[in-house]
Chains A and B, each alone.
Chain A
């Protein structure tokens, strides 16, 4: 990445941040923004795996959803504070990620996708059957409490800025991870795994750590979403959400920092907009976007922008 390229990216991120800071005051509904930011965190976590390590997990909803349930139950029924609930949800998702990752990294490529999907479906059935998730009804009535016992989160505006702060922290952490020596090894694995092995890297351990990091952040997204909306449901662990996060990343641009954020905002915004208007055609439209992205738009929105910028510079 050239200096000016990195510079213009920073400008764009800064502009995005300014927009997010003032968004509640220019008429955007805070709860919608918070939901979109939670999914943006989720997609960023997913992108760490697909975009920077080249691993397609088709079961990421399981980690988001189980953290959503865990945090919801701990905060509501065990009376935990929101910050401890978030931390616990994140740790649980990371632990589940460790178990699933240990099994899934034994296969590569397409098999990896199938194994993660199957393991996630198992987690879905467990969530369906264990009593504390509330089965088909979901886990409802989760209070927001107050952060560190000091800052009450009941107001949408207060919670919005907390969510935004967490989102910025995650975004920065992912940039830090990708630019670290560890992140460089991940990219090497994505580009040429046999070569990374022959250079002496223990590829499986690098992949496993990436998987655990990604699932833990996905868990944070789910836990945060439960606090925002006050409930966790089976759709948080369902495979269709695992598909949606793939689409968010693909549409925004995998392997770019801002791509998953743009993708998540677009898809959540679209679903929100379409939900009352077209009914079950939402699924059809999502599917069609998938087909179009794969056939004609594999770099995604941000990826296309970067490529366009590069072409212009070369001229």
Chain B
């Protein structure tokens, strides 16, 4: 069976890869949106935190023999704690000045992280094995679906929806959103806003780390894996607009699929398709697909 002259199996395989990439885009752009929402900063270090998440998984297996599931728990804790420390010591003094300074600061942090990891582990990629439970593939009749890829899509969408639920539907989320609107007033109600801000940044960092662990078995772990991805994620964020949580999840998944489709029909353009879409969206709807016009 063929679609537009392309074997169905290859077509669906690429679509699946696109969906996997889309899940990573969704998780990372969600973290960026959450941090941007409350702190008003663009976290350039997000890619580095994702990279560190993957290295935590790899290191805990190599050095301590901790398995995938332990890493999935450990990495967000470690990276989240790093995030909290960064927010408390470095970002805090910058809330009063122009937001471009915090962008530049996090850019500097990303360079530092990249340099340190490159010095320690070199530029060649590290392999991380697929956990035993998720090895193999399931034959769906029309395609063979690798179990791990299905898990990535399932797990990351689960994490995304859980984040959405916490922010949009719980009391904690309501406080967070109120803090975005008017921090002084929320503080007056006796809520510790600075702590909330720290936890939000830590939470965003933890999301990036989970994405890093999920990605570890399907990619080459390198010090540069974060910065290559984060630029695409920035484009995703611009396309979606940072106004809505659900919007950034949806945009991420959608663009992953579009990229997958481009790989099938015109592979040369697959690297740039997201950027082209960004340019078109900016011309037609500058606030982004889900953004609100100011």
Contact = CB atoms under 8 A, between A and B. Distances in A.
Contacts of B100: 56, 109-110, 113
A233 B71 CA distance: 39
A129 interface: yes
23 contacts: A103-B279, A109-B99, A113-B42, A114-B237, A115-B282, A117-B231, A118-B275, A125-B272, A129-B268, A129-B271, A240-B111, A280-B118, A281-B115, A284-B112, A284-B115, A284-B119, A287-B108, A287-B110, A287-B111, A290-B108, A294-B101, A294-B108, A298-B97
Contact of A111 (B108, B113, B231, B238): B238
A106 B283 contact: yes
Contacts of A113: 42, 100, 103
Nearest to A289: B108
A278 to B, nearest CB: 9
Nearest to A119: B275
A109 B93 CA distance: 20
A150 interface: no
A117 B230 CA distance: 10
Contacts of A284: 111-112, 115-116, 119
- Chain A residues touching B, majority SS: helix
A291 B112 contact: yes
A282 B268 CA distance: 33
B146 interface: no
A73 B118 CA distance: 33
B276 interface: yes
B111 A243 contact: yes
A223 to B, nearest CB: 24
Interface string A271-308: 00000000111111111111101110010000000000
B235 interface: yes
Given A111-B238, A114-B234, A239-B227, A283 B115 contact: yes
Given A114-B42, A114-B238, A118-B234, A107 B99 contact: no
Q: How large is the interface on B (under 10, 10 to 19, 20 to 34, 35 or more residues)?
A: 35 or more
Contacts of B272: 122, 125-126
Nearest to B287: A107
A129 to B, nearest CB: 6
A180 B237 CA distance: 38
B282 A107 contact: yes
Q: How large is the interface on A (under 10, 10 to 19, 20 to 34, 35 or more residues)?
A: 35 or more
Contacts of A110: 41-42, 99-100, 103
B162 interface: no
A282 B118 CA distance: 11
A191 B278 CA distance: 29
A299 B229 CA distance: 32
B286 interface: yes
Contacts of B237: 114
B94 interface: yes
Among all A-B residue pairs, the 10 with the closest Cβ atoms? A290-B108, A287-B111, A283-B115, A284-B115, A287-B112, A122-B275, A118-B235, A106-B286, A125-B271, A291-B108
A115 B94 CA distance: 23
Given A287-B107, A290-B111, 9 more contacts: A111-B238, A114-B235, A118-B238, A119-B278, A121-B232, A125-B271, A240-B111, A286-B111, A293-B104
Given A110-B103, A250-B104, A281-B115, A291 B282 contact: no
B105 interface: yes
Contacts of B268: 129
